[in-house]
Every structure is written in structure tokens, then in C-alpha cells.
Amino acid sequence: MAAQNFPCSFLRAAVRGFAHSPAVATPVTAEQMAEKLREQKKPKAVPEVPKDRVLRRVQEYVQQTRCFQKLHPNVLAKVLKKGIIYTNKDIVVINKPYGLPVHGGPGVKTCVTDVLPVLAKMLDGMKAEPLHLCHRLDKETTGVMVLAKDEMIAHRVQEMFKTRQVEKKYWAICIGKPEPEEGLVDIPIMEKEVDSHQSHFKMTLAPNYRLSLEDKKLRKVRRNRDAQLAVTRYRVLSSWSTCSVLELEPITGVKHQIRVHLAYGLGCPILGDHKYSHWSKLAPQKLSQGTLKKLGLEQVKARYLPLHLHACNLTLPPINSNEEQKIHLLCKPPIFFKLSLKRLKLELPASEQKETKTD
């Protein structure tokens, strides 16, 4: 098809229109560039510390649980690199910060998987293969997370998690104290839609037994086909008044298993677990006046409390056949967790404060 011949006047008008279009950026002068650089070099204003005690505590929680999704991937990779607690030729172990999702999804701007290629290059050079996830942690959970340096090692470690060869331990600050102080929660879990004015889904218990109203005895019931086996071992490490700190060992790996077993199985929800402190509604966790006073909060500000669940300890069996040593990994809890322990007069036994090692 032959090209059409446009009048020169039409072409000149089109060029003038393009040149004056707002889409064309105005050249930046040297003076404007210098001013921009001066603005960037100015020290950032330090947030003013509120005089009100409650507002001070809220500001503290907000700063300590800052949203990592707002960071550029390169900056986030530097944060994760700074939090590395162990590395060898096969794996890298990081301390996952609070509020950082592992995988992408609706509303997620940045997650751990997004920065794995950048982190790998920071550690082993520009030609390094991207790191691989070996397991997952919830967005609000902090602590030990294992990454593999190649796909074969990743599959090997994933299989170890799947076949329960990996020993995992968590610390959690809970509302109340479970009775007995040490035991095993063996109740299946399933996901269920909550029937309320605000439709949402939650994990919940799906027990194999029910209490007979006639003779008050337990009767076995048919297992729900959607329920997954879930077993959690727990032990009270310290308690004071309205709260306690627990060591938890999930034998299985069901979504939100620890949170559900503590809240619905033992009646001791995790401090800051706003999702599982209620069943029929989405609302901030309701705390006693004594707990609020110790934390320096008011109930209207309780929504700022972060989830106090920390993956503290992980033991990996030998990854390669030529290795004989297990790897014991210990990760210290975040600042907000330590401060809550102090304010609630709870403590972790000295025997729990070990260093990462192999044996």
C-alpha cells in the first residue's frame, strides 16, 4: 500500500504540537540540579517524641515494625544481608523481619522472593544464581529462615521439612497461661468461612472427638475431609500475672497452626494476634487493664501491637552425604519482643540463649 502524502504545513503543526505537549520533560538546569542535590544531603528531621505515654508507645511499635514493603528491593536486600545469622557453601540463613511477606500476592509490593536474586549477587558476585526458598514463615512471624544457594540443595532441604527431619522451635508471648504448663495439642485444623457481616476466612479446629451432652463423655466423630493433621508441643518458660512466654515445637506444618492451637485449643492467644483473638469478627485484640498498663497502652491503640511469635531455633540434619554434623541455628527475637518481655516481667531461661553452631 502506497504511503499517503501529507502537506508540509500539517507536519509542521504536528511537530509544534508534540514539542509543546506536557508529556515532553522540560530540560533541568544546572542550578535546579544543584538545588535537588542540596535537598537530598540535608539531614532528615527526627520524628518528635510525643509527650503522652500511650502515643510514645504507639510510635515505638510503628518504628520497630516499619513496613518493609515500601523499601526498594536493593535496600531490602541490604537489610536481609545485615540480618544473616549463618552461611556456608550450601545455604544462607536470615532473620526474617516483621511484616515482610515471603511470597507475592494481592496488595504485596515487595516480598522475600523478589529480592533473592539481588541478595545472591551481594553475597557471591554478579554471576551468582538466585537464592531459593526452602520453607515459609507468615508475614507477621519473625526469625530463622533458610535459603539455598542452588535448586538441588533447595529441593533437598524442602524434603527434610516435608518428612519432619527438621526440628523447629518458636517463642510466643501469650495472654494467660495454659494448663497444664507442658503438653501436646493434637487437634486437626481446617479453613472455614466466618459467617459475619464482614465475610472472611480463618483456620479453625476440626476435632475428631466431641463431648456428649448426655453422659459427658468424649465420642469419636467422622473426620472432616478438609481437615489437616496438626500437632504442636508446648512448654511454659515463664509466666507473670496475665501473660506467659511459651516454647513451641510444631510437629506438623499446617497454615497458622501455632496461632490456632494456642487461641482455640489452649485458650491463650498470642499477644498481638488480632486475627485469632476473635472468631466472628475482625477487630483488635481485647486486653485486660493490667496487661495494657504494663505495656503502656490503651485499648483503642491495641491494634498497633505486633504479633509476638518468633522462630527462634532450627536444627538441620546433614545436607550433603559427606557431612556428619547437624546445624543448630538460633535467632534472637526482635526489639519489640524483648521490650514486651521486660514490661510484662517475663524472661527467657539462660539455657535458651545459645549460639548458632554445628555438632
Distance between CA 189 and CA 192 in Å, rounded?
Answer: 10
Residues 6+ apart with CB under 8 A from 306: 61, 64, 65, 98, 99, 140, 272, 336
Q: Which residues contact 130 (CB under 8 A, 6 or more apart)?
A: 116, 117, 120
* Cα distance between residue 309 and residue 256, in whole Å: 11
Quick check: 122 pLDDT over 80?
A: yes
144 pLDDT more than 60: yes
Cell numbers at 7, concatenated: 502537506
Average pLDDT, rounded, for the chain: 86
6 has pLDDT over 60: no
The fraction of the chain above a pLDDT of 70, given in percent, is 87
* pLDDT at site 107: 76
Q: How far apart are CA 178 and CA 182, in angstroms?
A: 8
220 vs 312, residue with greater confidence:
312
Secondary structure string (H, E, C) spanning the chain: CCCCCCCHHHHHHHHHHHHCCCCCCCCCCHHHHHHHHHHHHCCCCCCCCCCCHHHHHHHHHHHHCCCHHHCCHHHHHHHHHHCEEEECCCEEEEEECCCCCCCCCCCCCCCHHHHHHHHHHHHHCCCCCCCEECCCCCCCCEEEEEEECCHHHHHHHHHHHHCCCCEEEEEEEEECCCCCCEEEEECCEEEEEECCCCCEEEEEECCCEEECCCCCCEEECCCCCCCECCEEEEEEEEEECCEEEEEEEECCCCCCHHHHHHHHHCCCCECCCCCCCCCCCCCCCCCCHHHHHHHCCCHHHHHHCCCCEEEEEEEECCCCCCCCCCEEEECCCCHHHHHHHHHCCCCCCHHHCCCCEEC
Say what the pLDDT of residue 32 is: 77
Average pLDDT estimate for 343-356: 75
pLDDT digits (tens, 9 = 90+) for 223-258: 888 999 999 999 999 999 899 999 999 999 999 999
Gyration radius (Cα) of the chain, Å: 26
In the structure, what pLDDT confidence band is assigned to residue 183 with cuts at 50, 70 and 90?
very high
Please check the confidence at residue 127 and state whether its pLDDT lies above 70. Answer: yes
List b or e across 27-42, with b for residues whose CB sees 16 or more CB atoms inside 10 angstroms: eeeeeeeeeeeeeeee
Kindly indicate the confidence band of residue 357, based on its pLDDT and cuts at 50, 70 and 90. low
Residue 128, pLDDT > 80, answer yes
Whether residue 19 has pLDDT greater than 70: no
CA 22 to chain CA mean position, Å: 43
Comparing 110 with 259, the larger pLDDT belongs to 259
Q: Quick one: what percent of the chain has pLDDT higher than 90?
A: 61
> What is the pLDDT, as a whole number, of residue 10?
47
Any residues with CB less than 8 A from the CB of 63 and at least 6 apart, and which?
47
User: Residue 49: pLDDT above 50?
Assistant: yes
Active site residue 138: yes
pLDDT of residue 213 exceeding 80: no
pLDDT of residue 28: 73
The letter for the amino acid at 319 is I
The region of weakest confidence among 1-15, 22-36, 168-182 is 1-15
Identify the active-site residue in 52, 114, 124, 138: 138
| pLDDT given at position 53 | 78
- pLDDT-wise least confident of 199-203, 247-251, 268-272: 199-203
Per the listing, cell 539481588 goes with 118
